Structure 1
Amino acid sequence: MFKLLARIGIDGFLLGLVSMVGLAWVLPDFGKSGGHLYMDSITVYGVALVFLLYGLTLPPERMKAGLMNWRLHLVVQSSTFVLFPALAWGAALALDGRIGSELMLGFFFLAALPSTISSSVAMTSIARGNVAGAIFNATLSSLLGVVLTPLWVNWYLSSSGASLDLGRVLLKIVLLVLLPIVLGQVLRPWVRGWIERNVSWLKSLDRLTILLIVFNSFSDSVAEGIWDGQGGGFVAQAVGGAALLFAFVFLLLRLVCKALGFNREDAIAGVFCGTKKSLATGVPMAKIMFGASPALGLIIAPTILYHLIQLIAAGIIARQWQDEV
C-alpha cells in the first residue's frame, strides 16, 4: 500500500499535512497562537530554522553545471514569476468577487511563489531530463522568490485596495530568511561532512517545522471561526483552481519548449521546474507576510492543495516519460 502511494507521489509528509489540518480542527486550542503549546512562538523560530537548513544543505558548486543554458533559465523563471502571477491576476479580474477574497489572495500568493528544488530535481531525474539545468533553475527561483514573492503580493494587495506593511515584511525576510541562508552558507564548509551524514535527519526536521506552521495556521483559523460557512463550495473552488492552474501551465510549457526547439532533456527540466511551486518556502513566507492572521489557514490552502496535485501528477508523468526512453 505504501509503495503504491509513494509511486504516485504521496509520502509521509503529505499524509502529515492532512493530519495537521485534521488535528487543528479537533484541537485548535492547542495549536492556536497563544494557546496551550504557544505554537506561534515555536513557528517564528521554526521559520528561521527552515532557511538555516536550506543554507546549510545548498551546495553552490552544483549551480555551476547548468549556468550557461540561458534559454531554459528564461523559460522557467518567466513561467514562475510572470506567467503564474499573470494567470492569477487575470482570474481575479474575470471572477470579479465570485470567489472569496482570502481564497483569491491565497491563489495569488501561490502564483507568486518560487519553484521547489527537491521535487523539481527528483522528477527531472526520474524522467531522465537535464538534472543540472533543473538544479540551477530551482535554486535560482528559490533565491529570487525571497524578494519577488513579497513584492508581487504587495502589488496585488495594493491593487485590490488592501495593504501590506512591506517595510516590516522585508525586515522580517532579512532577519528570518536571508540572514539564516547566508549563515548556513558561511557555516557549510565547516559542517559539510556532518550535513552529508545527517541529511535525512535534517530533511525530517525541516518538514516537521513546516507541519507545525501548518498546524498553527489552521488552528488560528478554526479558533476564530474563519472556516464557518465555507462548506464544500470552498473546497471545490480551491481544488479545482489548483488543478486547472497546474494543467494549464503544464500544457502551455510543453508547447513553448517544443516551439523553442528544446531537446528532450531541456524540455523535461523546463516543464517540471516551470510548473512547480514550493510549499517549503511558501508556508514560512506566508507566516512572515500575514503573521498570526486568522485567515492564514485559508490563504495557504491553495498552496497545500497545489503541492499535493503537482506531486501526484508530476510523479505519474515522470514515470511515463522514463518508460519512453
Structure 2
Amino acid sequence: MTLLSHLRPDRFTLALLASAIGATLMPATGAAAPVLKIVIAGSIALLFFLQGARLPREAIVGGIVHWRLHLTVFAATFILFPLLGLLLSKSLQPILAPGIALGILYLCLLPSTIQSSITFTSIAHGNVAAAVCSASASNVLGVFLTPLLMSFLMNTQGGVPLSAIGSVVMQLLVPFIVGHLARPWIGQWVERHRTVTGIVDRGAILLVVYYAFGEAVLNGLWHQLSARDLAVLIVLNCVLLATVLFVVTGASRLFGFSRPDEIAIVFCGSKKSLGSGVPIASILFPAAMIGVVILPLMLFHQIQLVVCAVLARAYASRAEAASARRS
C-alpha cells in the first residue's frame, strides 16, 4: 500500500492534467488570448518575487562553505544532464514527433527543484542545510544558464536569440532579486502564509500550461503526437533518471562524501524544476511550441517524485537500522 501511495499522482499533477485537458477542449482564442498572456506575465513575475523573498541569506552564505558538494550537484545538473539530453535528442529526433526531441533537450538544461529536493533529503536523513544551499543556488543560476545552454546547443532557427535571454533575466531574475532584497520586511509574512504563496506558485504554472497547450492544440499537437510517442517518452524519462541517479550516487561515493552529503547530492543532482522550467519556456519559445516542449518535463516531474519518494524511504530505513544497531 505504501508503494501504491507513491505511485498515485499528487494533486498538482492532476491539476496539470486538468489544465491540459481544459486547453484541449477550450483553448484561449480571440480577445482572451492577449489578456491571458498579460496575466501570465504578471503571475510569473510574482512567483519569482516570492521565491526571492523565501530564500534565506544564510543559504547563500552557506553555499560558499560546502563547495565540493555544490560543484558535484552543479556538474550533474548543468553538465551530465545536458550531455545526456544532447545525445538523446540527436539520436531520437528522426523517430519522435516534432518538438519532442527539443523538449527532452530543454528538460535536461533546467535547474534542480528546491522544495522536493529539500523534502526528500530530510526524509532520507541527509544534509538538509547543504540541500537548501545547493537547490537554491541551482535555481538562481538556472535563470542564466538554461537560456545560454539552450542557445549554445540548439541548432535550429539560429538558437535562442539574445533578446529572449534578456527577457528571461528581466522577467524572472529581476523580480527574484527584488523579492530577496525585500525579505527583511516581507520574509516573515511569506513564511507565515505559505499556503497563499503556494497557490500563487502553482497557479502561475497552471496558467502557463493551459495557455501553452491551448496554442499547441490550435497548431495540431494531438495530430502530430501518437500513443507510441508518449510511450517512448515515458521510457526515455525513466532511463534518463535512472542513469543520472546511478552516476551521481557512484560519484558521491567515489569522491568520499559522507552518507548525509551523498543523500543531498543524489536528490539535488537528479531533479529538474517544473516551477522554473514552465516560466522560462514561456519566454524562450513561440507560444505554439511551448506545449510540446514542456510535455517531457511534465512527465519527468511525476516520475521523479515517485522514484525519489521510494529512494528517500529506502535511505531512511537504512539510517534507522544503523542507528538501532549502534544503540
TM-score normalised by L of structure 2? 0.91
Instruction: Select which of 59, 63, 70 maps to 1:62.
Output: 59
Correspondence list, 1:1-325, <5 A: 7-8=6-7, 10-28=9-27, 31=28, 34-35=31-32, 38-95=35-92, 97-157=94-154, 160-292=155-287, 294-325=288-319
Q: Secondary structure at the match of 1:64?
A: helix
Q: Which residue of 1 aligns with 2:324?
A: none
SS in 2 for 1:45: helix
Distance 1:244 1:11 in 2: 22
Indicate conservation of the 8 Å contact 2:104/2:296, yes or no.
Answer: yes
Q: Which runs of 5+ in 2 are unaligned?
A: 320-327
Contact 2:97/2:225 (8 A) holds in 1: no
One-letter amino acid of the structure 2 residue matched with residue 128 of structure 1: H
Q: Whole-Å Cα distance in 2 between the matches of residues 53 and 196 of structure 1?
A: 10
Q: CA deviation at 1:123?
A: 0.4
Counterparts in 2 of 1:262 and 1:156: CA distance versus 1, 3 Å: same
1:145 shift after superposition? 0.7
Letter in 2 for 1:26: L
Runs of 4+ in structure 1 deviating by more than 4 angstroms, as ranges, are: 3-9
- Over residues 51-87 of structure 1, what are the superposed CA-to-partner deviations in whole Å (9 max), with x where a residue is unaligned? 1111111112233345322221111000000001101
Percent of residue pairs bearing the same amino acid type: 36
- Deviation, 1:211, is 0.7
Distance in 1 (alpha carbons) for counterparts of 2:284 and 2:204: 17
Instruction: Describe the SS at the equivalent of 1:116.
Output: coil
- Deviation per CA, 1:224-244, whole angstroms, max 9, x where unpaired? 212214220221122111111
Counterpart amino acid of residue 46 in structure 1: S
Instruction: State the 1:281 CA deviation.
Output: 0.2
Cα pair 1:32 1:216 within 8 Å, conserved: no
Task: Tell me if structure 1 keeps the 8 A contact 2:76–2:269.
Answer: yes
- Go from structure 1 to structure 2 and tell me whether the alpha carbon gap of 1:37 and 1:91 turns closer, same or farther (over 3 Å shift): closer
Say what the alpha-carbon RMSD is for the aligned residues. Answer: 2.0
CA distances 1:140-179 after superposition (whole Å, capped 9, x unpaired): 111111111001111122xx34224522112212220111
Shift of 1:10: 3.5
Q: Deviations over 1:174-195 (max 9, x none)?
A: 2201110111012111112211
Deviation at 1:288, TM superposition (A): 0.7
Structure 1 residue runs without a partner (length 5+)? none
Report SS of the residue matched to 2:213: helix
CA distance in 2, matches of 1:138, 1:259: 22
- 3-state SS, counterpart of residue 221 of structure 2: coil
Amino acid at match of 2:15: G
Q: Distance in 1 between matches of 2:30 and 2:188?
A: 38
| TM-score scaled by length of structure 1 | 0.92
State the 1:48 CA deviation: 1.1
Cα separation, 1, equivalents of 2:120 and 2:160: 37
SS at the partner of 1:228? helix
Give distance in 1, aligned partners of 2:16 and 2:140: 25
Match of 2:322 in 1: none
